[in-house]
Amino acid sequence: MAIIESVPNFSEGRRADVIQALVDAIQAPGVLLLDVSSDADHNRTVITVAGEPDAVLEGLFRVTALAAQTINLFEHRGEHPRIGATDVIPLVPVSGITLDECVTLAHALGRRIGAELGLPVYLYAAAAARPERKRLPDIRRGEFEGLLTSIHLPERAPDYGPAQIGPAGAVVVGARPFLIAYNIFLDTPNVEVAKAIAKQIRESSGGLPAVQAKGFLVEGQAQVSMNLLDTGLTPLHVVFDEVVRLAHQQGVGVTHSELIGLAPEQVMLAAAAHYLKLRGFRSTDTVEGAIQQAALRHKRLPPT
């Protein structure tokens, strides 16, 4: 059975009734709700769902339609960059399906959103139809306000839907491997420190491979906000250690960190093994992992 994950981001993190309505709308039959994360300063909500492709795509279409009715970007203000009410919809292969097949699904979803909801749709990551649109920050450059005055230009023409923009903005749809959204908080209200650290660690500025980063002020505390695009290239613990090192250089410390959405188990186990200096540590060295392996082994045994 094919299973995909999706982590749509919505430009609403303050109105509890709207957030709950989005959560309800995405849960079409067969869609598993895995996580909901909202932030008032970013004014953003991230919902994680999984299931069979047809079910997940139906849930994503329904929630995109609702977001277009309930979120007005002319009134929206928040720390996080955005171009749409439903700002981005990534499709992630989990099991029984390839990334290329998720690209096909992304095109189908984008085409439907454009045709039936009348929203401009941009394709990104593995689904990008143009090389300059592979990176999400490149599509978001200028944000909603910039898109208002540039969507008519050939280089800003959407991949699906009309080349016109209203209160719901545009939607970015794509296919990608697992991504980890990860924030580290500093013990200072000086957002310039977070911005400086973000610039030093992000790949586009010559920093860590497969790391995107920006600095924000969240509830009076400087935050280094990151997307880790490939933890095989740059593991989570490497990012944490580097932010701590750079923060100490500026005379500040780290108070805590947070995940937005979910992270693969192996990423967390790798971080634990790193800090505990466990050599050759595997998931089957946990009680839960050993039980899962034993259950699988038992299932494969021929009946007696």
Give the domains, in start order, of the chain with CATH numbers: 3-175 (3.30.990.10), 180-263 (3.30.70.670)
Strands, DSSP E only, in the chain?
3-6, 9-10, 31-39, 44-51, 86-95, 121-125, 171-175, 180-186, 211-218, 221-228, 254-260
Residue 116 CB neighbour total at 10 angstroms: 12
Q: What are phi and psi of 32, to 5 degrees?
A: -95, 120
Mean pLDDT of 274-303: 82
What percentage of the chain reaches a pLDDT higher than 90?
A: 87
165 within 8 A of 143, measured Cβ to Cβ: no
Joined tokens for residue 127: 């689904």
| Cβ neighbours for 66, distance < 8 A, ≥ 6 positions apart | 21, 22, 25
pTM for the structure as a whole: 0.83
What is the tens place of the pLDDT at every residue in 222-249?
999 999 998 989 999 999 999 999 999 9
Joined tokens for residue 195: 């911005």
pLDDT grade, residue 254 (50/70/90)? very high
| Low-confidence winner among 58-72, 118-132, 265-279, 288-302 (lowest mean pLDDT) | 288-302
Could you give the 3-state DSSP secondary structure of residue 250? coil
The Cβ-side half-sphere exposure at 248, using a 13 Å CA radius, reads 5
Q: What are phi and psi of 228, to 5 degrees?
A: -100, 105
83 within 8 A of 147, measured Cβ to Cβ: yes
Could you give the 3-state DSSP secondary structure of residue 168? coil
Of 301 and 243, the structure prediction assigns the larger pLDDT to 243
Joined tokens for residue 98: 């390839």
Cα–Cα distance measured from residue 258 to residue 183, given in angstroms and rounded to the nearest whole number: 5
70 within 8 A of 41, measured Cβ to Cβ: no
Q: Using alpha carbons only, give the angle 7, 81, 40 rounded to the nearest 5 degrees.
A: 75
Catalytic residue among 42, 76, 80, 107: 80
pLDDT, position 99: 96
pLDDT, position 303: 55
Q: Verify whether residue 237 is a known catalytic residue.
A: no
Joined tokens for residue 45: 């909500």
What is the tens place of the pLDDT at every residue in 129-142?
999 999 999 999 99
Q: What is the DSSP letter of 1?
A: -
| Cβ neighbours for 109, distance < 8 A, ≥ 6 positions apart | 57, 60, 61, 89, 91, 173
